[in-house]
A = this chain, B = another copy of it.
Amino acid sequence: MPTRQGRYTLRLDSCPSIAAYASVVGKKESEGPLARYFDMICTDTTMGEETWEKAESRLQKDAVNKALAKAQLAPTDMDYVFAGDLLNQCISSTYGLRDLGVPLVGLFGACSTMAESLCMGSVFVDSGAASNCICVTSSHFCSAERQFRYPLEYGGLRTPSSQWTVTGAGSAIVSQSSVAPYVRAVTVGKIQDMGITDTNNMGAAMAPAAADTLVTYFTDTNTSPDRYDLILTGDLGEVGSQLLVELLKRDGYDVSGRHSDCGLLIYDTETQDVNAGGSGCGCSASVLCSYILTRISEGALNNVLFVATGALMSPTSLQQGESIPGIAHLVYLADSKWS
């Protein structure tokens, strides 16, 4: 049963289990430092499909099927799929999951979607509303570029603070079973908007949301950063990560040495020409559902706060002079249940 801890955090008493997880990535991601942790690598990032959007749908489909295979479960064993993405009207999820035959709860949380889906799936399992559910999201560099920025053929130059959209998907099966990793608690975030309007600096737009959700969580649970081995943000990149550390320091929390960011883990930022790091729904999804969950399963990490961040804007809202609201959702993952 979910129990409220503090004002906004839910302690999940049964500790839902992540029974299996899978990641599928593209060529550039396979050249980064986490290559050996991914389940599937597609050096042809069209995935054999006719369009980039269909390729992205395929990433979600493959990530789901791979996780089901690893768990030795069928789609019919799943009670719900919690999914979303950043394409207009979330078409990667819809078309990628169309043939699955599982009740779909469509989500929109921009790049925070992996954490949002885990929050929902874990609450459903902990409350008995579901026995098994799948959480999945994706992004694709080529579909994101043409929707949010410029046609690829234009070859637009990128600013140093800009981030590189990950081609990848991650999926996790949340279940009532008893294998690590476990979800011990979740905190759903509130929108934070500090007035940032620079679409090439999403890290700065999202850092205040990550800081707010972390401070909420520490306050609610009366814990401090040193209780955790790793505080892992979604895709703040270099600029946003520095900002987060500073914002938290101002609030009395020192996360330096414990903080890492999926956007900085997935690429070698020195050699891979990605400027401030990776981004996109698939960034935190593919890093979490490979390297991180494996490290927790092995017991190499014991207590991890996964805080994926999203920038809730659209090209239209920016053209209309709006700033970029950020959001961050937190999932507390551990290698053991509550004792």
A189 at the B interface (CB under 8 A): yes
Instruction: Among B95, B103, B110, B316, point to the contact of A188 (Cβ < 8 A).
Output: B103
A190 at the B interface (CB under 8 A): yes
A317 and B98 contact, Cβ closer than 8 Å, known pairs A88-B88, A107-B107, A107-B108: no
Complex: A281 Cα to B337 Cα, angstroms: 41
Interface-centre pick from A51, A129, A322 (highest chain B CB count, 10 A):
A129
Interface of A is mostly: mixed
Complex: A86 Cα to B100 Cα, angstroms: 23
A53 at the B interface (CB under 8 A): yes
Complex: A90 Cα to B116 Cα, angstroms: 15
A74 at the B interface (CB under 8 A): no
Identify which of residues 188-242 in chain A touch chain B, using a CB-to-CB cut-off of 8 Å: 188-191, 193
Asked if residues A128 and B188 are in contact (CB atoms below 8 Å), the reply is no
Asked if residues A320 and B54 are in contact (CB atoms below 8 Å), the reply is yes
Asked if residues B1 and A128 are in contact (CB atoms below 8 Å), the reply is yes
A327 at the B interface (CB under 8 A): yes
Asked if residues A191 and B94 are in contact (CB atoms below 8 Å), the reply is yes
Residues on B with beta carbons closer than 8 Å to the beta carbon of A94: 191, 312-313, 317, 325
A120 at the B interface (CB under 8 A): yes
Asked if residues B190 and A322 are in contact (CB atoms below 8 Å), the reply is no
Residues on B with beta carbons closer than 8 Å to the beta carbon of A97: 191
Interface-centre pick from A86, A88, A128, A322 (highest chain B CB count, 10 A):
A88
Asked if residues B50 and A190 are in contact (CB atoms below 8 Å), the reply is no
Instruction: Among B100, B102, B129, B320, point to the contact of A50 (Cβ < 8 A).
Output: B320
Copies of this chain in its oligomeric complex? 2
Instruction: Among B50, B108, B127, B320, point to the contact of A1 (Cβ < 8 A).
Output: B127
Interface string of A93-116 (1 = CB under 8 A from B): 111011011111111111000001
A108 and B89 contact, Cβ closer than 8 Å, known pairs A95-B322, A98-B191, A316-B53: yes
Complex: A110 Cα to B88 Cα, angstroms: 11
Interface-centre pick from A95, A100, A106, A320 (highest chain B CB count, 10 A):
A106
Complex: A10 Cα to B119 Cα, angstroms: 19
Residues on B with beta carbons closer than 8 Å to the beta carbon of A91: 312-314, 316-317, 322
CB distance from A138 to the nearest CB of B (A): 14
Residues of A within 8 A of B (CB): 1-4, 8, 10, 50-51, 53-54, 79-80, 84, 86-91, 93-95, 97-98, 100-110, 116, 119-120, 123-124, 126-129, 147, 187-191, 193, 312-317, 320, 322, 325, 327
With A53-B317, A94-B317 given, name 16 new contacts (CB 8 A).
A1-B128, A2-B129, A10-B129, A50-B320, A84-B106, A91-B313, A91-B314, A91-B317, A95-B325, A102-B190, A103-B188, A104-B188, A104-B189, A106-B108, A120-B120, A123-B124
Of the A-B pairs whose beta carbons lie under 8 Å apart in the complex, a sample of 26, sorted by A's number, is A1-B128, A8-B79, A50-B320, A54-B320, A80-B188, A84-B108, A89-B108, A89-B110, A89-B312, A89-B313, A91-B316, A91-B317, A91-B322, A94-B325, A95-B317, A103-B190, A104-B190, A105-B107, A105-B116, A105-B119, A106-B109, A106-B312, A108-B108, A123-B124, A123-B129, A147-B316
